[in-house]
C-alpha cells in the first residue's frame, strides 16, 4: 500500500492532490484525530468524463471437458465475461477482445460484440469465448488474459485478469530394492542375484495423471532388464504407486560398484525423469572373517586393534582398540582411491574416562568427530565423501593419568565408499536419426586413454573422447544400423572395450491429403473435422491452415477440428506432416477449402433489440426472450456444431416475443439464430 495524498482538516472543504490512479482501482480514505475514533471508507476510481469499459469478472465452463468447472490441462473451455462501464457516458458499439501471450493456451473464439454498456452498469456475455488448454501446461500455471475493449468512437481500454490451471505433477521418489526371492534379502543388489526394483511415484499436482508409461534404463554393463515398460492406468492425488521392474545382476559385477539407472515417467504431455545410483554389493567390513585381511588395513599407535567377539553390533565379530595405558594410543586406518561421490558409515562404541580418554575419527588427517565417556551404546556415524584419494583413520588414545569404563573403543559394520575400479560403458543401444549426428554418452573410470571405432563408414568428431558426436555414413544408413566400439586402457595398462548399437530411423513419410469438407458455410457450421492416415515413423502430426487467420486448429494426432473465424471468407489450404525426434517429414498435398457465408455478414444489433437465453447453460429446456422495435416476423433456428437444424420456428410476431424451448438436445454447444428483415442475430447455447 502507498499513501497517495494527505491534508489537515480545517473545518472547510479540502482539495487533496493525489498521485494519479487507474480507473477501477480502489482508494482508502482515512481520517484520524487524537482521542477520536478513526473514520475510513473506500471509493472506486472513475474517469472524469466519457465511457470507461473494463473487465469485471469471469466464469469458466468446462462442459466440453470433464464438467467440474475447474480449468485444467487439455480442456476445451468456454468463458463468460462480465464487463462494467465506470464512465460518465454509455459505451456504444463495444467490442471486447481477449489477448494472451502464453504458449499453453490457444484461442478458438477470442472476440465478442457487447453492443451498449450503460454508464455505471455491467453486462455479461455468456459462453462468448472459447480456448484450448495445452496437454502439457504446468500445474497451477497462471495465465494473464488482457481484456481489450473498443467502442464506435475507437476509444480503447485495456484491463486484465488471471486464471490458474490445474494439472498433474508426476514426482519420482526413492527406489526400493527387493531381493527376497532371487537374492540374499539384504535390500541391496549383489553380484549374481535377481531382484525387483520399485520406483515410488507420487502426484504432487491437482489432477490425476493417466496412462503412465514408466521406463527404467541401466546405464552400466552389470544390470540386465528382465521386464519392459511399466504401465500405470492412473496416478491419483493421495498415496503413492510403484513402477516395478525385474532385473538380474552380472556375476562379474565388482563389489561396491555404483550402477547408474535412468528412470522416466510419461503421461500425455508430461515427462519426468530421475537418475538413481544403487550400489552392487557393499564395500563392507564387518570383521566376520575373524581377522583384518579382507581389506588393506593399517595398524598404528602403541598397540594394534584386535578382533573381539564380545557383544558385537551384528554377526559374531567386531574390532576393538588395543589395551593401551596412560599416554598411549591404538590406531586403525585404510587409504585408497574413492570412485565417486559416496559416504562412509560405521557403528562405534566407546567406554572411557569422560573428557580425557577419547575415541577419534579422521578423514585425511582432519578430525571429524570424537567421543568420550560411557553413556552411549552402539551408534552409527555417516560422512559424505568426495571422489579421489582418502585416508580413514580411527584412534583410541589416553591422556597421562586415570581411566574409566572398559577403557577402549569398538568398531563394527563399516560401509566403506566404493574403491576405484576400471569400468567402461559405451551406452545403451539406441535409435539415431539418419539425418543428423548422434551424441554418444559413454562413461568410464580409471581410464588413461580412450578410442572409438565403427563397423560402418561414419565419422567421430573426436574419437579419443568419451562422448563424441558420431555422424552416420551412407553405408550406415543403407544397413540401418552400426556398431560403435569404445576401447580404453586403464592406469594399470589393461585394455577393456564395450559396444553400442545404433539403429537408424528416418523422418516420417508424407501423409495422405487430409479428408473432410472442402466447402464450409460458416452460417451453418462453426467447426469442421478433418483426418489423415498414420504414416511410418511418425510420433505426432503437425497440421497447418493457410492463411492462419482463417481458423484455429485443435489437434488430436491424425484427426483435427478447425474452428473457423466467422470474419474470414475465401480460399484455405489445409495440410499435415508427420513429426518425430528426427524432425518433420514432407507435408501432405494440401486440401483446398472454400469458406463462405451463404447468408451474408451478420447485421449490427439495432438499438432496443435484445436476444436473451435463460438459463444458459441449461439441461435442454430454456426460455427465449426477444425484444425488437420492428413488427416484421422473426424466425428462430437452433443448429448443432455439425450444421444440423435441430429446432425451427417461423413467423413469430410482436415486439416482445417469449418462447419456452425444450427438446431432446445432446450435450454440446449450439447456435440459436434469430432472423428478422434479412439480418441474423446469434447466441450460443450450452446444453449440459
Q: Evaluate whether residue 491 is within a structural domain.
A: yes
Is residue 452 pLDDT above 60, yes or no?
Answer: yes
Domain boundary (476, 505, 534) is at 505
Give me the mean pLDDT over the 595-615 stretch.
67
Q: Evaluate whether residue 287 is within a structural domain.
A: no
Same domain, 373 and 406: yes
Of 43, 106, 36, the residue nearest 76 (C-alpha) = 106
Is residue 603 pLDDT above 50, yes or no?
Answer: no
- What pLDDT was estimated at residue 655? 79
Same domain, 97 and 196: no
Same domain, 457 and 572: no
Q: Evaluate whether residue 604 is within a structural domain.
A: no
For residue 381, the domain's CATH number is 2.60.120.260
By three-state DSSP, how is residue 6 classified?
coil
**Residue 47 pLDDT level (bands cut at 50, 70, 90):** confident
Q: Evaluate whether residue 603 is within a structural domain.
A: no
For residue 571, the domain's CATH number is 2.60.40.10
Domain boundary (367, 395, 415) is at 415
- What pLDDT was estimated at residue 606? 59
Give me the mean pLDDT over the 659-681 stretch.
84
Domain boundary (452, 476, 505) is at 505
The cell for 92 is: 456504444
**Residue 601 pLDDT level (bands cut at 50, 70, 90):** very low
- Give pLDDT tens digits for 368-393: 999 999 878 999 999 999 999 999 99
Of 101, 66, 91, the residue nearest 149 (C-alpha) = 91
Q: Evaluate whether residue 298 is within a structural domain.
A: yes
Same domain, 160 and 177: no
Q: How far apart are CA 266 and CA 656, in angstroms?
A: 57
Return the exposure string of 229-263: e unless at least 16 CB atoms fall within 10 Å of the residue's CB, then b. Answer: ebebeebeeeeebbbbbebbbeeebbebbbbbbeb
- What pLDDT was estimated at residue 627? 84
Same domain, 448 and 536: no
**Residue 602 pLDDT level (bands cut at 50, 70, 90):** very low
Percent of the chain with pLDDT over 70: 98
For residue 662, the domain's CATH number is 2.60.40.1930
Task: Pick 658 or 338 by higher pLDDT.
Answer: 338
Same domain, 458 and 494: yes
Same domain, 161 and 201: no
Q: Evaluate whether residue 633 is within a structural domain.
A: yes
Q: What is the enclosing helix (H) or strand (E) of 430?
A: strand 430-433
Give me the mean pLDDT over the 18-42 stretch.
84
Q: Evaluate whether residue 510 is within a structural domain.
A: no
**Structural domain count, the chain:** 6
DSSP line for 260-305: -EEEEEEETTEEEEEEE-PEES--EE--TTSSSTTTT-EEEESS--
What is the rounded average pLDDT for all residues in the chain? 91
The cell for 606 is: 439495432
Same domain, 578 and 620: no
- Give pLDDT tens digits for 49-98: 899 999 999 999 998 888 898 999 999 999 999 999 999 999 999 999 99
- What pLDDT was estimated at residue 672? 85
**Residue 1 pLDDT level (bands cut at 50, 70, 90):** confident
- What pLDDT was estimated at residue 599? 65
Q: Evaluate whether residue 661 is within a structural domain.
A: yes
Give me the mean pLDDT over the 338-366 stretch.
95
Q: What is the enclosing helix (H) or strand (E) of 687?
A: strand 679-687
Do residues 679 and 600 make contact, with C-beta atoms less than 8 angstroms apart?
Answer: no
Same domain, 633 and 651: yes
- Give pLDDT tens digits for 412-422: 999 999 999 99
Q: Rounded to whole angstroms, what are the CA distances from 141 to 99, 145, 166, 525?
A: 17, 13, 7, 33
Residues 303, 305, 310, 313: is their CA dihedral positive or negative?
positive
Give me the mean pLDDT over the 529-551 stretch.
93
Same domain, 260 and 341: no
Own/partner pairs for 592-595, CB < 8 Å, 24+ apart? 592/518, 593/517, 593/518, 593/519, 593/520, 594/518, 594/519, 594/520, 594/570, 595/520, 595/522, 595/550, 595/564, 595/568, 595/569, 595/570, 595/571
Question: How many C-beta neighbours within 10 Å does residue 496 have?
Answer: 16
From 35-49, 372-386, 504-518, the region with the lowest mean pLDDT: 35-49
By 3-state DSSP, what share of the chain in percent is helix, strand and coil, each rounded to 5?
A: 0, 55, 45
**Residue 348 pLDDT level (bands cut at 50, 70, 90):** very high
- Give pLDDT tens digits for 555-597: 888 999 998 887 788 889 999 999 999 999 999 999 999 888 7
Give me the mean pLDDT over the 527-551 stretch.
93
Same domain, 177 and 262: yes
**Residue 12 pLDDT level (bands cut at 50, 70, 90):** confident
**Residue 683 pLDDT level (bands cut at 50, 70, 90):** confident
By three-state DSSP, how is residue 619 classified?
coil
- Give pLDDT tens digits for 177-233: 999 999 999 999 999 999 999 999 999 999 999 999 999 999 999 999 999 999 999
C-alpha gyration radius of the chain: 38
Of 266, 268, 264, the residue nearest 72 (C-alpha) = 268
- What pLDDT was estimated at residue 9? 83
- Give pLDDT tens digits for 148-173: 999 998 899 999 999 999 999 999 99
Domain extent, residue 126, equals 1-165
Same domain, 5 and 98: yes
Amino acid at each position: 500500500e502507498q499513501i497517495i495524498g494527505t491534508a489537515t482538516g480545517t473545518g472547510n472543504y479540502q482539495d487533496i492532490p493525489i498521485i494519479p490512479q487507474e480507473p477501477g482501482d480502489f482508494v482508502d480514505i482515512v481520517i484520524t484525530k487524537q482521542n477520536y475514533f478513526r473514520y475510513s471508507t473506500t471509493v472506486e476510481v472513475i474517469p472524469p468524463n466519457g465511457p470507461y469499459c473494463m473487465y469485471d469478472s469471469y466464469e469458466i465452463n468446462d462442459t466440453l471437458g470433464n464438467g467440474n468447472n475447474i480449468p485444467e490441462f487439455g480442456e476445451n473451455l468456454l468463458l463468460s465475461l462480465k464487463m462494467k462501464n465506470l464512465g460518465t457516458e454509455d459505451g456504444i458499439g463495444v467490442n471486447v477482445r481477449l489477448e494472451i501471450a502464453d504458449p499453453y493456451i490457444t484461442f478458438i473464439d477470442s472476440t465478442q460484440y457487447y453492443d451498449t454498456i450503460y454508464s455505471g452498469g455491467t453486462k455479461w456475455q455468456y459462453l462468448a469465448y472459447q480456448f484450448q488448454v495445452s496437454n502439457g501446461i504446468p500445474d497451477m500455471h497462471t495465465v494473464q488474459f488482457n481484456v481489450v475493449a473498443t467502442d464506435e468512437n475507437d476509444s480503447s481500454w485495456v484491463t486484465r485478469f488471471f486464471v490458474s490451471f490445474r494439472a498433474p505433477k508426476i514426482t519420482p521418489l526413492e527406489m526400493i530394492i527387493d531381493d527376497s526371492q532371487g537374492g540374499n534379502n539384504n535390500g541391496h543388489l549383489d553380484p549374481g542375484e535377481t531382484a525387483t526394483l520399485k520406483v515410488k511415484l507420487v502426484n504432487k499436482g491437482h489432477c490425476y495423471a493417466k496412462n503412465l508409461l514408466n521406463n527404467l534404463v541401466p546405464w552400466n554393463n552389470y544390470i540386465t532388464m528382465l521386464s519392459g515398460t511399466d504401465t500405470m492406468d492412473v496416478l491419483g492425488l493421495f498415496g503413492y504407486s510403484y513402477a516395478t521392474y525385474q532385473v538380474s545382476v552380472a556375476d562379474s559385477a565388482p563389489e561396491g560398484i555404483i550402477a547408474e539407472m535412468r528412470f522416466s515417467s510419461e503421461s500425455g504431455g508430461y515427462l519426468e525423469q530421475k537418475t538413481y545410483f544403487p550400489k552392487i554389493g557393499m564395500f563392507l567390513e564387518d570383521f566376520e572373517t575373524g581377522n583384518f585381511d579382507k581389506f588393506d588395513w593399517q595398524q598404528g599407535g602403541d598397540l594394534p586393534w584386535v578382533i573381539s567377539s564380545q557383544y558385537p553390533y551384528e554377526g559374531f565379530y567386531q574390532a576393538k582398540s588395543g589395551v593401551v595405558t596412560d599416554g598411549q594410543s591404538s590406531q586403525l586406518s585404510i587409504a585408497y582411491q574413492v570412485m565417486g561421490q559416496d559416504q562412509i558409515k560405521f557403528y562405534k562404541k566407546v567406554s572411557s574416562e569422560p573428557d580425557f580418554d577419547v575415541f577419534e575419527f579422521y578423514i585425511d588427517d582432519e578430525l571429524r568427530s570424537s567421543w568420550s565417556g560411557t553413556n552411549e551404546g552402539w551408534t552409527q556415524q555417516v560422512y559424505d565423501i568426495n571422489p579421489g584419494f582418502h585416508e580413514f583413520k580411527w584412534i583410541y588414545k589416553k591422556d597421562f593419568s586415570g581411566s574409566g569404563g572398559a577403557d577402549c573403543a569398538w568398531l563394527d559394520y563399516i560401509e566403506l565408499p566404493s574403491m576405484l575400479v576400471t569400468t567402461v560403458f559405451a551406452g545403451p543401444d539406441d535409435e539415431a536419426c539418419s539425418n543428423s549426428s548422434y551424441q554418444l554418452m559413454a562413461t568410464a573410470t580409471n581410464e588413461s586413454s580412450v578410442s572409438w571405432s565403427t563397423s560402418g563408414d561414419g565419422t567421430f568428431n573426436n574419437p579419443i573422447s568419451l562422448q563424441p558426436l558420431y555422424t552416420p555414413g551412407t553405408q550406415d544408413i543403407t544397413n540401418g544400423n552400426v556398431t560403435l566400439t569404445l576401447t580404453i586402457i586403464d592406469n594399470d595398462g589393461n585394455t577393456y572395450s564395450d559396444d553400442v548399437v545404433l539403429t537408424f530411423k528416418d523422418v516420417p513419410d508424407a501423409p495422405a491429403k487430409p479428408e473432410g469438407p472442402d466447402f464450409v458455410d460458416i452460417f451453418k457450421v462453426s467447426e469442421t473435422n478433418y483426418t489423415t492416415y498414420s504414416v511410418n515413423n511418425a510420433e505426432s502430426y503437425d497440421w497447418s491452415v493457410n492463411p492462419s487467420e482463417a481458423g484455429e486448429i485443435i489437434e488430436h494426432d491424425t484427426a483435427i477440428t478447425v474452428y473457423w473465424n466467422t470474419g474470414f471468407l475465401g480460399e484455405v489450404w489445409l495440410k499435415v506432416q508427420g513429426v518425430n525426434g528426427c524432425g518433420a517429414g514432407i507435408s501432405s498435398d494440401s486440401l483446398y477449402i472454400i469458406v463462405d457465408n451463404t447468408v451474408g455478414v451478420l447485421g449490427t444489433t439495432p438499438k432496443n433489440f435484445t436476444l436473451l437465453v435463460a438459463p444458459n447453460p441449461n439441461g435442454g429446456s430454456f426460455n427465449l426472450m426477444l425484444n425488437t422495435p420492428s413488427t416484421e416476423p422473426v424466425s428462430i433456428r437452433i443448429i448443432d456444431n455439425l450444421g444440423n437444424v435441430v429446432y425451427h420456428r417461423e413467423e413469430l410476431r410482436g415486439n416482445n416475443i417469449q418462447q419456452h424451448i425444450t427438446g431432446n438436445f445432446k450435450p454440446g454447444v449450439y447456435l440459436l439464430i434469430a432472423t428478422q428483415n434479412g439480418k441474423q442475430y446469434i447466441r450460443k447455447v450450452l446444453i449440459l
